[in-house]
Amino acid sequence: MKPRADKMLYVTDADRRRLGTLLSGDELSHGGNARSVADLNELLEESAPMDARLAPATLVTMNTAVRLVDVRTGDQQTVTLVYPEDVDLFPDGVSVLEPLGAALLGCQVGDVVQCLAEQPHRKVRVDEIVYQPEREKAFHL
């Protein structure tokens, strides 16, 4: 899944630091293939840093629960974007090292992302931020 190339993506400083540590360490044993790791690295390089205290309530950050709508079918799904080691802690957890997870990081409400890793290819729209740590002043998450 690839994020939109026509729009600047923002990732909070805290998420960038923790994801940088994840990508440079042994944490990758928690999942993720070479393609998803490369995609996440590329996203972090191309995104603009943002102070977590200034993150808009419409931004998908780590540990954000988001409602997605399948553009073709209208089916809705709520997922929580999590670090690989936390996937089992959330019934709707999607790792940032999965194609969908990497594509969601930095998205905003209204953005559409295409999942090329799924057959058939799927396009989903970020419909609503159900929970965002920064909105709740939970900067430690």
> pLDDT of 62-109, one tens digit each?
999 999 999 999 999 999 999 999 999 999 999 999 888 988 999 999
Q: Domain locations in the chain?
A: 10-131
pLDDT (average), residues 117-124 = 75
Contacts of 103 (CB under 8 A, 6+ apart): 1, 2, 3, 39, 113, 114, 115
Residue pLDDT, tens place only, 46-75: 999 999 999 999 999 999 999 999 999 999
Beta partners for residue 70, in sequence order: 124
At 119, phi and psi to the nearest 5? -120, 125
Tokens representing residue 120 in the block? 């058939």
Domain 10-131 grouped into CATH 3.10.50.30: yes
Beta partners for residue 49, in sequence order: 11
Q: Are 2 and 114 in contact (CB under 8 A)?
A: yes
Q: Return the axis-axis angle of helices 34-46 and 13-24, rounded to nearest 10°.
A: 150
pTM above 0.75, yes or no: yes
